Amino acid sequence: MFRRLDNSAPGLIEISLDGEAMQVPAGISLAAALLYLDAIPVRRTKIGAAPRAPFCMMGICFECMVEIDGQGSQRACQREVFPGMQVSRRLDDGKPESGR
């Protein structure tokens, strides 16, 4: 959904998304990284299993919640990516989604 502007700061780092290694720009929020990867949806709602993705990017909509390093319900827009970050999207009844 989003791409990096051509002359912006260089440098990609590797994170793990649902068990797969992914390259994302360093220094950005995880929510931005997920949009960069088009890893959409980032979660499904508990009631209707509806697909959701980052909405406000400023930490108040709670749509971008994913599991980070084993901790659930983390707002992806409030966390900066780092090498080796383990991210899990809860897309299927609480079980991590395998593959994109």
Partner 1 sequence: MKDAYQLVVIGAGPAGMAAAQAAASRGIEVAVVDEQSQPGGQIYRNVDSSPLASIDWLGEDYRFGKTQVQAFRHAPIDYFPETSVWYLDSSRELGLLHQGEHRRLSADAIVIAGGAQERPVPIPGWQLPGVMTAGGGQILLKSAALVPRQPPVLAGSGPLLLLLASQYLRAGIEIRAIVDTTPRQNRWRALRHLPRALGAADYLFKGLKMILAIRRARVPWYSGAVGLQARGDERLASLRFDSGGRSHEIDTELLLLHQGVMPALQMADAAGCESDWHEQQQCWQPRLDDWGASSQAGIYIVGDGAGIGGARAAGLGGRITGLQVAFEAGRIDQATRDRLARPLINARQRHLAIRPFLDTYYRVDTSVLASEPAALVCRCEEISVAQIEAAADLGASGPNQVKAFTRCGMGPCQGRFCGASVEQILARRRAVGVGEIGRFSARPPLKPITLGQLATSEEQQV
Partner 2 sequence: MSLNTINQYDTIVVGGGLVGAAIALGIARRGQRVAVLDGGDRDYRASRGNFGLVWVQGKGADYAPYARWSGIAARHWEAFALELLDASGIDVGLEQTGGYDFCLDQDEWDARAREMAQVAQHTGGEFEYQMLDNAELKQRIPQVSDEVLGASFSTRDGHVNPLFLLHALHRRLRGIGAGLFAAQPVTSITPGSGRFALRTDSCVYQCERVVLCAGLGNQRLGEMLNMHVPLHPLRGQLLITERVPRFLPCATLQVRQTVEGTLQIGDSHEDVGYDESVTLDVIARLAARAVRIFPHLRGVHLQRAWGALRVMTADGLPVYQRADDHPGAYLVSCHSGVTLAALHAGPVADWICGDDPHPLINDFSAARFDVSTPRQ
From the list partner 2, partner 1, none, pick the one residue 19 interacts with, judged by a Cβ distance below 5 to 8 Å according to partner type. Answer: none
SS3 36: helix
From the list partner 1, partner 2, none, pick the one residue 94 interacts with, judged by a Cβ distance below 5 to 8 Å according to partner type. Answer: partner 2
Contact (Cβ atoms closer than 8 angstroms) between residue 29 and residue 15: no
Min. distance of Cβ 10 from partner 2 in angstroms?
A: 36
Min. distance of Cβ 63 from partner 2 in angstroms?
A: 14
Among 67, 90, 89, smallest CA distance to 79 is for: 67
Q: Which stretch binds partner 1 (CB under 8 A): 13-21, 42-50, 82-90, 92-100?
A: 42-50
Min. distance of Cβ 21 from partner 1 in angstroms?
A: 20
Looking at the Cβ atoms of 81 and 88, the one nearer to partner 1 is 81
How many angstroms separate the CA atoms of 55 and 40, rounded?
12
With a CB cutoff of 8 Å and minimum separation 6, the contacts of 87 are 15, 16, 17, 18, 30, 34, 66, 67, 68, 76
From the list partner 1, partner 2, none, pick the one residue 8 interacts with, judged by a Cβ distance below 5 to 8 Å according to partner type. Answer: partner 1
